[in-house]
């Protein structure tokens, strides 16, 4: 007596030809795209210069200016005067002329005049991206 084994028809219905075609098309696309990118870098081009262009000398980061309840300014964990804050802001703008941002963190009991002073120093240094932080509702 012979045993009959029925083969599955699921694998027979799955055609691999379209899948192989897609893989080859993707391979050709990436090979061509890589070649074009390489040719763009190898072109011998004399680049123009701009008189106002400034290199990015530091990684852009937010500068935090903290103001305690007595109106003292703190930058990077040390107490500074308003004139020193202005110097720090000017150095930050010199290092990151296009993207320097300042976060002003003031105690809720401090007079708003101290916050306005820091905002004015930011404007004087040429920093337009400054913000005053608040605490969310509990």
Please report how the helices 112-125 and 82-95 are oriented relative to each other, as an axis angle in degrees rounded to 10: 40
- pLDDT tens by residue, 104-119: 888 888 888 998 999 9
**pLDDT level of residue 68 (50, 70, 90 thresholds):** confident
The pTM (predicted TM-score) of the whole model is: 0.56
**pLDDT level of residue 73 (50, 70, 90 thresholds):** very high
- Which residue spans within 15-95 are E strands per DSSP? 62-67, 73-75, 78-80
CA dihedral (102, 107, 108, 112) in degrees, to 10, reads: -60
Annotation: CATH topology of 62-132: Nucleotidyltransferase; domain 5 (3.30.420)
Domain positions in the chain are: 15-42, 62-132
Chain position carrying tokens 């103001």:
67
């Amino acid at each position: 007596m012979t045993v009959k084994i029925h083969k599955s028809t699921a694998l027979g219905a799955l055609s691999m030809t379209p899948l192989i075609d897609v893989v080859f098309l993707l391979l050709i696309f990436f090979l061509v795209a890589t070649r074009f990118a390489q040719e763009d870098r190898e072109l011998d081009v004399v680049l123009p210069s701009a008189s106002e262009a400034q290199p990015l000398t530091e990684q852009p980061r937010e500068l935090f200016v903290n103001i305690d309840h007595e109106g003292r300014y703190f930058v990077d964990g040390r107490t500074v005067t308003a004139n020193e804050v202005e110097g720090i802001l000017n150095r930050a703008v010199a290092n990151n002329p296009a993207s320097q941002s300042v976060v002003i963190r003031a105690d809720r009991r401090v007079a708003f005049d101290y916050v306005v002073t820091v905002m004015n120093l930011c404007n004087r240094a040429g920093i337009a991206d400054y913000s005053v932080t608040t605490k969310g509702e509990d």
